[in-house]
Amino acid sequence: MVIIFDLNGTLLDTRSIAPAIRKVFGKKITAEQWLHTVLHYSAAMSVTGDFCPFEQLAAGVLAMEADAHNIKLKTSDVERVQTALRTMPPYKEVARALKTLRTAGFRLAVLTNSCSAVMRQQLAHSGLGDYFDHAISVEDVHMYKPSLKTYNFAATSAGVHPQEMLMVAAHSWDLIGASRAGCQTAFIRRPGKAPFPGFPVPTYTARDLSEFASELTGATRSVPKLALIAAGAAAIAAGAFVGVKRLPCQPS
């Protein structure tokens, strides 16, 4: 079993880019609105079969919004936003929670819409890189999340089947894709985030990563591993339904 984490907004705090966006737009556009638009266009690219690296896409949306609001975008503005994306800090409990999960024997991976080069910079700057067995960028499959191809590619990269992955994210749209690909899911309630009130129901929901790690490690201690594997395989074969909580995953 591999626990696979979204990076931007789940492990790293995207609120830190707000000053860079405010420098360009003032009160006309918030960082959250800009990010939503970037994700909107990343989804459009996946639907149409197009692709460009996330940082390039982000710069394109920056230019588009500046044009729409009659703002003259400077090269320094773009560089400032790109630097902010590369240097987002982790949420305060993340490192401790990842250490707890690794100590419990779980394999950990990250799957991000960031391009490979930016992902490496983000992991290095945040100090989280050493916690992961695999660091996977959608750039390698040329398809953004929540395309099912990204989760299947991540599973192949980690050497497991999608059913052997638990996707952790603070974005319901990410978990919708992961669930459809066959993964178990965990929703993290970051500030301003809430689970989508419908399908799919996350396997786990937690206030932060520490609560998730505690729930997961506590659950795995309380249920025999062989019984979990057998029951989990049967549930996967039968299909998962709304409102049915899958059995906890086990460290491999």
- Is residue 248 predicted with pLDDT exceeding 70? no
Q: Which of 92-96, 173-177, 242-246 has the lowest mean pLDDT?
A: 242-246
Q: Which of 98-102, 150-154, 223-227 has the lowest mean pLDDT?
A: 223-227
- Is residue 247 predicted with pLDDT exceeding 60? no
Q: What is residue 107's three-state secondary structure?
A: strand
pLDDT for residue 1: 87
- Is residue 88 predicted with pLDDT exceeding 70? yes
- Is residue 137 predicted with pLDDT exceeding 70? yes
Spell out the residues 6+ positions from residue 80 whose beta carbon is closer than 8 angstroms to its own.
20, 23
Spell out the residues 6+ positions from residue 243 whose beta carbon is closer than 8 angstroms to its own.
201
pLDDT for residue 219: 60
Taking the model in full, what pTM does it have? 0.86
pLDDT for residue 153: 97
Q: Which domains are seen in the chain, by residue range?
A: 2-11+91-238 (3.40.50.1000), 14-86 (1.10.150.240)
- First vs last C-alpha separation in the chain: 5
pLDDT for residue 221: 52
Q: At 228, is the pLDDT very low, low, confident or very high (cuts 50, 70, 90)? A: very low
Q: Quick one: which of 29, 42, 33 has its CA closest to 174?
A: 42
Percent of the chain clearing pLDDT 90 (strictly above): 82
Spell out the residues 6+ positions from residue 94 whose beta carbon is closer than 8 angstroms to its own.
11, 128, 209
- Is residue 224 predicted with pLDDT exceeding 50? no
Q: Which of 106-120, 209-223, 238-252 has the lowest mean pLDDT?
A: 238-252
Q: pLDDT tens-digit profile of 1-38?
A: 899 999 999 999 999 999 999 999 999 999 999 999 99
Q: Quick one: which of 93, 116, 67, 70 has its CA closest to 12?
A: 93
Which DSSP category does 202 fall into?
P
pLDDT for residue 33: 95
Which DSSP category does 12 fall into?
B
State the average pLDDT for the chain.
88
C-beta of residue 157 within 8 angstroms of C-beta of residue 136: yes
pLDDT for residue 200: 80
Q: At 218, is the pLDDT very low, low, confident or very high (cuts 50, 70, 90)? A: confident
The Cα–Cα gap between 174 and 197 comes to: 14
Which DSSP category does 114 fall into?
S
Give the total residue count for the chain. 252
pLDDT for residue 2: 97
